[in-house]
């Protein structure tokens, strides 16, 4: 089983990890709890050793599902468990950023309870909070790190400048940025910065919200509450451009008797600076499809380069995932 060094830590991770946003249901149209628990089991049994979650995924639901799955199936000590903090919500599910010391200490206790564990391997700031000094957030994380409650300090959706500011007050062991064939903005400066500073990366959005699976057509529609309904990539002329690119990728995959998703995953995990790519799974079938990558590569380096060239020639300018960001205030 391929394992990769996780930055400056003593952890080694599989090249893909299980993302659990879809399990929480929020902005994904719902998910069956037992299906999600089974998806965790299949992923872990299949070799995946990193699970990433967050309180905001279903307002605690995704963390609870992960906790139940690990409790039921055992093996917590074999899993690198990553979660996040810094987004709070009210009874109307209105979200705002809050990375204050008080909020952080409340959230770590809530996450430990929901996950049914006494430590978090990778604890990440979910989004930057302009209203809280980096010093307050990072020094609180450092306290938890020194106590062993968390094993690594991570940040998510941070710019290079924000990472540098955070590093003044505590080590930053990992970054979780969006990255896939259609969203490559971080290649310009963020990935090189992480490589230079030995910061591990947990990239998310590997299949670009399902767009890189090849399962959508120009007639596809999305229900209210589904995040794709608000994503510019899934609208009008832009949608047609991306679908055209996917069709060209599908031809490469078909020649190797493989799925387009496998091509997208392999391309992502082979990019310089990518430590682990997160892939979501709503049910056992999706989990089974994802773990195929752990049994060996399908595509050659030349085929991956060809796929990348198709994207460069077909998609003029990627549209980033900022539409998913919660309010900054």
Rounded average pLDDT over 247-269: 96
pLDDT digits (tens, 9 = 90+) for 278-322: 999 989 999 999 999 998 899 999 999 999 999 998 875 545 555
Q: What is the C-alpha separation between 194 and 158, in angstroms, rounded? A: 12
Q: What is the C-alpha separation between 166 and 168, in angstroms, rounded? A: 5
- 243 within domain boundaries: no
Catalytic-role residue among 57, 123, 145, 242 = 57
pLDDT at position 226 is 74
pLDDT digits (tens, 9 = 90+) for 112-137: 999 999 999 999 999 999 999 999 99
Q: Give the Cβ contact number of residue 130 at 10 Å.
A: 11
Q: Give the Cβ contact number of residue 160 at 10 Å.
A: 16
pLDDT digits (tens, 9 = 90+) for 144-173: 999 999 999 999 999 999 999 999 999 999
Mapping DSSP to helix (H, G, I), strand (E, B) and coil, where does residue 229 land?
helix
- 247 within domain boundaries: no
Rounded average pLDDT over 209-237: 84
Rounded average pLDDT over 6-13: 98
| CATH label of the domain that carries residue 31 | 3.20.20.100
Distance of CA 51 to the CA centre of its chain: 9
pLDDT at position 269 is 97
- 35 within domain boundaries: yes
Q: Give the Cβ contact number of residue 121 at 10 Å.
A: 20
* 242 part of the active site: no
pLDDT digits (tens, 9 = 90+) for 168-188: 999 999 999 999 999 999 999
pLDDT at position 316 is 59
**% of the chain exceeding 90 in pLDDT:** 76
Angle at which helix 236-255 crosses helix 301-314, to 10 degrees, equals 160
**Of residues 220 and 307, more confidently modeled:** 307
Name the residue among 52, 62, 58 with its Cα closest to residue 114.
62
Rounded average pLDDT over 41-48: 95
pLDDT at position 1 is 78
- 327 within domain boundaries: no
**Of residues 323 and 250, more confidently modeled:** 250
Number of structural domains in the chain = 1
pLDDT digits (tens, 9 = 90+) for 56-112: 998 999 999 999 999 998 889 999 999 999 999 888 878 999 999 999 999 999 999
pLDDT at position 13 is 98
Bridge partner list, 278 = 17
Name residue, tokens 């952080």.
Answer: 104
Contact 289, 26 (CB under 8 A): no
Contacts of 325 (CB under 8 A, 6+ apart): 127, 157
Which tokens is 25 given? 């249901």
Contact 156, 164 (CB under 8 A): no
- 40 within domain boundaries: yes
Q: How far apart are the first and last CA of the chain?
A: 43
pLDDT at position 328 is 44
Q: What pTM value is reported for the model? A: 0.93
- 264 within domain boundaries: no
Whether residue 141 has pLDDT greater than 70:
yes
Contact 212, 181 (CB under 8 A): yes
- 226 within domain boundaries: no
- 36 within domain boundaries: yes
Q: What is the C-alpha separation between 136 and 26, in angstroms, rounded? A: 30
pLDDT at position 329 is 40
Rounded average pLDDT over 199-227: 88
**142: containing domain:** 4-211+269-297
pLDDT at position 200 is 98
Q: What is the C-alpha separation between 128 and 77, in angstroms, rounded? A: 30
Contacts of 173 (CB under 8 A, 6+ apart): 6, 7, 8, 9, 122, 152, 153, 154, 199, 200
């Amino acid at each position: 089983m391929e394992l990769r060094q996780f930055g400056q830590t003593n952890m080694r991770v599989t090249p893909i990890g299980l993302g659990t946003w879809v399990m929480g249901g929020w902005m994904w149209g719902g998910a069956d709890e037992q299906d999600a628990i089974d998806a965790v089991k299949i992923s872990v049994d299949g070799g995946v050793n990193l699970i990433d979650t967050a309180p905001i995924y279903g307002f605690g639901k995704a963390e609870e599902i992960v906790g139940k799955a690990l409790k039921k199936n055992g093996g917590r000590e074999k899993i690198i468990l990553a979660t996040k903090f810094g987004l709070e919500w009210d009874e109307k599910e209105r979200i705002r950023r809050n990375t204050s010391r008080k909020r952080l200490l409340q959230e770590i206790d809530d996450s430990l309870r929901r996950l049914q564990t006494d430590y978090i391997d990778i604890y990440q700031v979910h989004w930057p909070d302009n209203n809280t000094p980096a010093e307050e957030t990072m020094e609180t994380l450092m306290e938890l790190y020194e106590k062993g409650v968390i094993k690594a300090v991570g940040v998510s959706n941070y710019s290079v400048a924000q990472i540098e500011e955070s590093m003044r007050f505590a080590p930053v062991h990992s970054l979780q940025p969006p990255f896939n064939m259609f969203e490559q903005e971080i290649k310009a400066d963020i990935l090189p910065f992480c490589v230079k500073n030995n910061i591990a990366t947990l990239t998310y959005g590997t299949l670009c919200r399902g767009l890189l699976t090849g399962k959508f057509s120009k007639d596809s529609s999305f229900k209210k509450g589904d995040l794709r309904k608000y994503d510019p990539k899934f609208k009008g002329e832009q949608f047609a451009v991306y679908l055209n690119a996917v069709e060209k990728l599908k031809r490469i995959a078909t020649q190797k008797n493989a799925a387009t998703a496998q091509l997208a995953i392999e391309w992502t995990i082979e990019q310089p600076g990518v430590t682990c790519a997160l892939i979501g799974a709503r049910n056992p079938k999706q989990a089974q499809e994802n773990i195929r990558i752990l049994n060996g590569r399908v595509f050659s380096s030349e085929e991956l380069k060809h796929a990348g060239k198709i994207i460069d020639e077909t998609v003029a300018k990627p549209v980033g995932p900022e539409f998913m960001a919660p309010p900054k205030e």
